[in-house]
Amino acid sequence: MSAPTVVAIDGAAGSGKSTLARLLARELDLPYVNTGLMYRALTRAALDLDVALAELTRGLRVRLTEGAHPELEVEGYRPEDLHTGEVDAAVSRASRHPKVRELMRRAQRALGADGAVMEGRDIGTVVYPDAPVKLFLSANPLERVARRSGERGGSNVAEELRARDERDARVNPLEPAPDAIAIDTTGATPEATLEAALQIVRSRR
């Protein structure tokens, strides 16, 4: 008995593969398998997921808490639910979608309408390019890793941070606004950094 026949047909787009393959399959009485459909189906599903993600973004209810020190509350989640390794590893996949970013930025502008201290990655450049005070914080990588290890633990913090920075920067380069004031927090206590920031805010008023 001879081995089952597979006729492999490869070629660039438009080279006539599909036409030939279907006809040949009928002639030889073999199944016609167009593997391009598998990749296209995956792509279609991913595109549909983009639409679903935008819908989810629209449904995300954000508000400021009442009281003396209002803070952002994203309905349905406690902050500790959102600061996990699992979310860290996946967040760049959600935040890279242009439609998601557009909707988030609109919501962020609304949250700041009566004034706010707003932290992020694109606040001074895109969300509030007219903000009167823009600070751009940095710290050396070792110190960032040490701080994050203190918050989260885990053995691979350095690599996880590096990978997330890289994924985020692919879509949304982390750059200071031209009029941002840089503060390097390496080796600085929170109080010292606060004092530096307050001086800048006061000088702008």
18 near ligand C5P, rule: CB under 6 A: no
Nearer to ligand C5P, 122 or 131 (CB): 122
Q: Closest separation between CB of residue 22 and ligand C5P, Å?
A: 44
Residue 68 CB, shortest distance to ligand C5P, in Å, is 24
Beta bridge partners, 138, equal 184
- In three-state secondary structure terms, 116 is coil
Contact 9, 21 (CB under 8 A): yes
For residue 40, give every residue at least 6 positions away whose Cβ sits within 8 Å of its Cβ, in sequence order, or none: none
Instruction: Tell me which residue has its CB nearest to ligand C5P.
Output: 120
Specify the 3-state DSSP secondary structure of 186: coil
Per-residue contact string for residues 73-102; x = within reach of ligand C5P by CB under 6 A? ------------------xx--x-------
Encode burial over 158-191: b for 16+ CB neighbours within 10 A, e otherwise: eebbeeeeebbeeebeeeebeebbebebeeeeee
Minimum distance of ligand C5P from residue 185's CB (angstroms):
15
Query: Per rule CB under 6 A, is residue 149 in the interface with ligand C5P?
Result: no
The region that residue 29 occupies, defined by phi over 0 for left and psi between -120 and 50 for alpha, beta otherwise, is left
* Binding residues among 109-148 for ligand C5P as defined by CB under 6 A: 120-122
- CA–chain centroid gap for 46, Å, is 16
Q: Closest CB to ligand C5P among 21 and 88? A: 88
Q: Which is nearer to ligand C5P, 23 or 90 (CB)?
A: 90
Contacting residue, 17, 149, 164, 193, with ligand C5P by CB under 6 A: 164
Footprint of ligand C5P on this chain (CB under 6 A)?
Answer: 91-92, 95, 120-122, 164, 168, 172
